[in-house]
Structure 1
Amino acid sequence: MTTNLPLISIITISFNSEKSIEKTIKSVLSQSYPNIEYIIVDGLSTDKTTEIVSSYINVFKEKGFVFKYISESDKGISDAFNKGINLANGKLVGIINSDDWFEKDAVETIVQNLDNNYNIYCGSLNLYDSNLNYLSTRKSRPYLLPLGMYVMHPTVFVERKIYASNMFDTSLKIAMDYDVLLQFRKRGFKIKNIDKVISNMQIGGISWNIEKMRYEEKIVMKRNLSLPFYLLARVKFYAEKLL
C-alpha cells in the first residue's frame, strides 16, 4: 500500500525538449518507489515536447502516479521552478531537468534515508557528454557550499514546507539553485549527503556557461556568506582562473 509511504514530488521544467524529455519521463516512470507526484512545467514549447508529454498521461495513471502538466509562458528557469513547487503536494520536492534522468532507485534511496534531523537530501551524479558517453561521477559535498556549488542539484530533494518562505530568485538565470541552498544553509536547515548515485546529467545548456555561472555565483556568495567565507571563496575563484 502506498498510503503509508510519503508522497514525493518531482518537477521537470522544459522548453523545446523533444530530443531529451522522453528519457527523463521514462526515468521517473521506472522508479521503484510507488508514491510519486510528477509535475512537468513547460514554457510553451513549439516543437513536439507537448505531444510527447501528452502521450504519457495514461501511462502515469496506470502506474498510479499523480501527474500534472502545464504549458504556459514564464519568466525563465527560476519562475518555472517556482510554478512547479506551488503545484507540489509531496513531503519532499526534487527537480530533474528535461535532459537529465534518475537512477531507477533514486526516490527509494532518498526515502530510505529520511531523517528528522535533516531537511534536504542529496547524492552523487553521473556526467555524460553530448553523445551519452560516461565522463565521471561527481559527489555532492555540502560542507563546501560556502566555496561554490558543490551539491549536485539534480540529486537534491527538499522538504516542501521550507520552500514556503524561500523560493527561487527570478533575477538569477544560472545560479538560482546555489542561491537557494545557501539561503537554506543560512537559515539553519541541514543537508544529508547520501553516498550513492541518484541522477545522471548530460553536459550542455545554459548551466554550463562557465563565465556566466561564475559571475552569478559571485553575486550569490556576496549576499549569502559572512565576510570570511566570502573572501575565501573569492581567493578560490581567482586561483581557478589562473590555472
Structure 2
Amino acid sequence: MSTPVLSIITVCFNACNELQNTVKNVLAQEWTNFEYLVIDGASTDDTVSFLEQSTTLFAEKEIPFHFISEKDHGIYDAMNKGIRIASGDWLLFLNAGDLLYKPNILRKVFEISHSADILYGDTICVYQGQQKKYSALPLKNLIYEMAFCHQSAFISKQLLSKYPYDTTFKVCADHYFFLQMYLQKKSFDYLPFPVSIYEIAGFSDKNKLLSHQEKHRMQKQLGVFHFSPIWFFRELNFYFKYFIKILFGQNFINLVRKKRLH
C-alpha cells in the first residue's frame, strides 16, 4: 500500500457522540488518499467500542484506519502522539465534533500539489445551531490571535515532527506553533474557501483566562510582546468581555453570540 498524502488525526476523550459525527463526515469524503488516526485518552464511554466497529467501514473504503486508547497528559500530548505515528505527508487535526466542510473538500485541496509548509483556509463556526463563515485573518494577526482555526490548517508532517506542540501550554500550543513558524518565515498558502466546520465550545473557549495568560507567555517567549496602544486596547477589550461574563453569566454571552452569528 502506498504512503497516504494526508493523515487526518482526531484526539478525543469521552466524546463518543461527537466522534461519531466526525467519523461519518470523514468517511463521506470523495478523495480518499488519506489515513485516519484516532488518539483516545482512555475514554470510559462507548468510544472504544465504536472505534472497533468502525474498522470495517474504513476497510470497505480502503482507507487506512488506526486508533489507540490510553491515558495521556492533555490535548497536545495526544496530538504529538498522532504526529509520531502518522505516515502522511500532510497532517490535519480534526477533533471530535469537527467536520470537513463538504465531501469534495479534500479533493479540492489536493487536486494540485503544494510546496508550502502550511495550508490554511476559512472556517464555518457554529454556536447553538447558528452558523457563520469566519475568513482567515492576515498572518500578521498571529502575534495577537489565531488568524485561522487549526481545524482548517494542513501542516507538513516534516515540519510538525521537527517542531511538535509544546505541552507546557495547555490551551495555546497550536497558536504558539503557528506564530513560531510565521516568525521563522516558513511558507503559508491561503486556501480561499471554507475547509472545516467548528463548533464554538472547545477547550480554549471554555478556558478564556488561561488562554489569555498563555498568549502573553507565548508573546514574551517569542520576543513579540510590546506595550503599545494596540496591546492596551486588546487588554481592555478582553477584560471587559471577561467581567461581563462574570457579572451577567453565560446565558447573556450565549445571547450576544447568537445575534453576532445571524
Does TM-score exceed 0.5, indicating one fold?
yes
Q: 1:166 to 1:9 in 2, by over 3 A?
A: same
Aligned to 1:139: 135
Counterpart in 2 of 1:109? Answer: 108
Letter in 1 for 2:134: R
C-alpha contact (below 8 Å) 2:99/2:198 kept by paired residues: yes
Q: Structure 1 pair 110/233, CA: closer, same or farther in 2 (3 Å)? A: farther
Residue by residue, what CA displacement relative to the aligned partner does 1:167-223 show, whole Å, maximum 9, x if unpaired? 001111111110111121122211111111110111213221322221111111221
Aligned counterpart, 2:51? 53
Instruction: Give the Cα separation in 2 of the matches to 1:14 and 1:134.
Output: 24
Superposition misfits of 4+ residues, deviation over 6 angstroms: none
- Residue in structure 2 matched with residue 167 of structure 1 by the alignment: 164
1:88-237 aligned within 5 A: 88-103=86-101, 104-112=103-111, 114-116=113-115, 118-130=116-128, 133-141=129-137, 142-209=139-206, 210-227=208-225, 231=228, 234-237=231-234
Q: Compare 157-166 and 138-147 and name the one that shifted more.
A: 138-147
How far did residue 231 of structure 1 move? 4.7
TM-score, normalised relative to structure 2: 0.84
Paired letter, 1:41: I
Q: Is the 8 A contact 1:147 1:232 kept in 2?
A: no
Is the 1:6–1:90 Cα contact (8 Å) retained in structure 2?
yes
RMSD: 2.0
Which residue identity does 2:158 align to in structure 1? K
One-letter code of the match for 1:199? S
In structure 1, what is the Cα distance between the partners aligned to 2:72 and 2:179? 24
Q: Which residue of 1 aligns with 2:258?
A: none
Q: Distance in 2 between matches of 1:114 and 1:134?
A: 35
Contact 1:15 1:45 in 2 (8 A): yes
- Give the corresponding residue for 2:77: 79
Contact 1:139 1:152 in 2 (8 A): no
CA drift at 1:29: 0.8
Q: Distance in 1 between matches of 2:194 and 2:211?
A: 24
Percent identical: 25
The verdict on how the C-alpha distance between 1:223 and 1:17 changes in structure 2, with shifts beyond 3 A counting, is same
Matched to 1:134, the amino acid is: Q
Contact 1:148 1:233 in 2 (8 A): no
Aligned equivalents of 1:164 and 1:233: distance in 2? 34
Bigger Rg over Cα? 2
- For 1:187 and 1:240, the matched residues in 2 are separated by 29
Residues paired across the two proteins, number: 237
Q: Secondary structure at the match of 2:186?
A: coil
Gaps of 5+ in 1: none
